[in-house]
Amino acid sequence: MAPVDIGERLRALPGGSAVTLKLDPREYADHYFAVLNATLRDVGTETDAHTIYVTVTNPASFVWGLAQALDVAEDRISFVDAISHIMMDYRNPLPNATYIESPRALEAIMLRVEYLLRRNPHPRAIVVIDSVNSLAIHNPPELLTEFFHILLNMLKSRQVLTVVLEVSDEEASSVETMLNLVVDETIDVAREGP
């Protein structure tokens, strides 16, 4: 399948769905760009759509640079950046980003997502969490499980399409097991393309 098929599958999901996109670490750059293409351009540019991108792996400035290469308009995307502070990459804050001091501040992430949903009311809201692996590095498993249960249930009740990025490994991890309990579908980017 071509990368556009991931976007088609995401577009076909009803509001309130939660999906994991698994990226292969050996093909990370290609898979990551395919996922951004599918989430930010294919789904995020639908009429009346707005994307809230939670950055835990790459700073918002990096993701915004790629989004611009995909012709994503600034008013179509907001960022909750939980990584720039600890990476000391806070020189030029983006006007469409809100910054959190640490990926450990799970409650702050949740509150900022909720705030941005109210601030940018759109019929087609999308939340992208990049990535569960990075959150797992900074948070204990029990706390992360609770965070995802609360956040995803809140987003489902508001009919928000939620996309969680996960870098897969050879064996099923506790993170993957936890995600399988809270998401509706898992799409393996390596099997779907690019």
Q: What is the CATH number of the domain that holds 104?
A: 3.40.50.300
In this prediction, residue 1 carries a pLDDT of 38
CB 165 within 8 A of CB 21: yes
**Tens-place pLDDT, residues 84-100:** 988 877 677 899 999 99
183 closest CA partner among 158, 157, 143, 156 = 156
- pTM of this structure: 0.93
> Token pair for residue 58?
């790459």
CB 102 within 8 A of CB 86: yes
Q: Which residues of the chain have pLDDT under 70?
A: 1-4, 90, 170-172, 192-194
CB 135 within 8 A of CB 144: yes
In this prediction, residue 2 carries a pLDDT of 43
Cα separation, 184 vs 188, whole angstroms: 14
Q: How far is CA 15 from CA 119, 123, 133, in A?
A: 18, 9, 25
User: Which domain covers residue 125, as residue numbers?
Assistant: 4-192
In this prediction, residue 192 carries a pLDDT of 65
In this prediction, residue 193 carries a pLDDT of 53
In this prediction, residue 3 carries a pLDDT of 42
Cα separation, 104 vs 83, whole angstroms: 10
Total structural domains within the chain? 1
**Tens-place pLDDT, residues 109-143:** 999 999 999 998 888 999 999 999 999 999 999 99
Terminal-residue alpha carbon distance, the chain = 7
